[in-house]
Amino acid sequence: MTLPKVGFTPESPQNFIVDSGVIVRDLTYDKSTGFTGTPIGATSGGTKVEIEIKKRLMEVDGAYITPVKGLEVVESFTAKMSSKLKEFSPETIALISGGTARAATEDEAPDGYQVIEFERQVKDGDYINSIAIYGFQRGTNKEIIVVLDNCLVTSTFGLDTKDKDEATSDLEFTAHATPEQMLVGEMPCRIFYPSTASIIATGITLNKTTLSLAAGATETLIATVAPANATNKTVTFTSSDPLVATVDNQGKITAIKAGTATIKATTANGKTATLALTVTTA
């Protein structure tokens, strides 16, 4: 085996994480409903996750020319998530500014207003049970989820406003360990990633490559996805000319009128197979 010239392979696009992701709070998982959480709000410019494991080199006499394997120890662990919030409500402003929202009294403001106030103490309720961001792996369309535990907002609240654009505010969450996590050495951050056992489709074949039908006749194609144990075997069918022949997603072709058309079968990750169809006069 020779060394590849590039890191890109035919399977590379299926392992891309697509789009900017969604930030939710209080992520939970249930076997019947899957992952659930409450969205923080619309963001702008994407989201950045930083997990830093800072190491310290222990000083040992004689080991000074080069770092020596085995002498590093973990000095600190920091997990942060940052974005720009573009959707605001009294609750989200209170969240990102470290304040609390309450209804305004009739002496403070007209009906329908809330007041956001601030305190000098950090209370236990200021920690958010979990903050998560999830995007999707292109090949499996499954969520890739980064979860931070016991988060505090550590960004400075400030509205950035300008003409012909919407206001944004920096948003940063920092994870914190509970005393119980600290005692057992558990870090307050984890990543849920689709199993590497997911097998990507490498090809597709049809039971026929050419077919002739009389107008009004039907026939169902059989598509075979390779390998046989591919995780996602979803196939969609299309006709190049629906006026000549149509095809449904079960592969059933219906000849409409005399002419030619190409019937294409496509896997979820873009592999294709085609059939050349001729429709004759009934």
Contact between residue 198 and residue 263 where contact means Cβ atoms under 8 Å apart = no
Q: pLDDT tens, 150-173?
A: 999 999 888 888 899 999 999 999
pLDDT at site 274: 97
**pLDDT confidence of residue 121:** 87
Can you tell me the distance from the alpha carbon of 138 to that of 13, in angstroms, rounded to the nearest whole number?
Answer: 7
- The distance between the two most distant Cα atoms of the chain, rounded to a whole number of Å, is 94
Quote the percentage of the chain above a pLDDT of 70. 98
Residue 26 has pLDDT above 80, yes or no: yes
Tell me, what's the pLDDT at 196?
57
Write the pLDDT tens digit of every residue in 206-220. Answer: 999 999 999 999 999
Is there a contact between 100 and 94 (Cβ–Cβ < 8 Å)? yes
pLDDT given for residue 136 in this prediction: 86
> Quick one: which H or E segment has residue 115?
strand 114-118
pLDDT tier, 264 (very low <50, low <70, confident <90, very high otherwise): very high
In the prediction, which pLDDT does 12 show?
82
What are the pLDDT digits (tens) for 40-62? 999 999 999 999 999 999 999 99
Structure confidence by residue, pLDDT tens digits, 106-140 = 999 999 999 999 888 898 989 999 999 998 887 77
Going by their DSSP bridges, the two strands 34-39 and 143-153 should be labelled as unpaired
Beta bridge partners of 145: 134, 192
Residue 96's pLDDT band (cuts 50, 70, 90):
confident
* DSSP type of residue 2: P
User: Before 13, cis peptide (omega within 30)?
Assistant: no
Band (pLDDT 50/70/90 cuts) for residue 197 is low
Mark out the alpha helices in the chain (DSSP H runs).
90-97, 179-184
79-101 mean pLDDT: 91
* Helix (H), strand (E), coil (C) string for 168-205: EEEEEEECCCCHHHHHHCCCCEEEECCCCCCCCCCEEE
**What is the pLDDT, as a whole number, of residue 198?**
65
The model's pTM = 0.68
Across the range 246-273, mean pLDDT stands at: 95
- Mean pLDDT (the chain) is 92
pLDDT for 1: 67
